[in-house]
Amino acid sequence: MVVNSKISVPILGIDPGYDRLGWAIGVPHGNSWTTLEYGCIETPKTMTLFDRYQLLQQELTEVIKLYQPKIAVVESLFFFKNQKTALKVSEARGVILSTCFTHGIKLYEFTPLQIKQAVTGYGRADKKSIEKMVRLQLNLGSKKVLDDAIDALAVMMTFQAQRKLLAL
């Protein structure tokens, strides 16, 4: 599989979740990005789990239709302390992947360690360090951005940092 190192199409970054899914759309330009938009899809706790998954699918489809990304980058599940939460996030991740497949989007995934390494240069970086680097690299300043959206921006940025390795 060869990945073009001069990609100029929108890339969708996703931080999976069933209660709050972070997403970000950007276009890489050399070593920098034009961030088009980012946000979170939140599902109400009052909904049934299946209704929450359906809402994730519907809202993610709207993002895809609006920005038409050709590539999606998703954070892989690595470790969870709460097995019940891990199962729900895994199922939500399945909804996310299926939604991307339905729209013909090429998928890549990275572990949290790979994302931290790509964004901060240190695979064991904490959340504050990641947020600081995302804000710095994408010129976000001090505007309020939810953690899940920051994580989605970091996932999106990881594709740019890893694309040469993906071409091997």
Cα-Cα-Cα-Cα torsion 110, 138, 25, 10, nearest 10 degrees, comes to -90
Measured CA to CA in angstroms, residue 127 lies from 26, 42, 89, 120, 148 at distances of 21, 20, 19, 10, 11
CB 158 within 8 A of CB 119: yes
Is 19 a residue of the active site? Answer: no
Pairing label, strands 11-15, 71-75: parallel
Is 126 a residue of the active site? Answer: no
Nearest to 74 by CA among 125, 24, 2: 24
Spot the catalytic one: 15, 59, 131, 151. Answer: 15
Beta bridge partners of 40: 22
Spot the catalytic one: 19, 51, 131, 148. Answer: 148
Measured CA to CA in angstroms, residue 152 lies from 12, 13, 15, 83 at distances of 8, 5, 5, 23
CB 115 within 8 A of CB 129: no
Spot the catalytic one: 19, 42, 59, 75. Answer: 75
**Token pair in block for residue 161:** 């940092």
List active site positions: 15, 75, 148
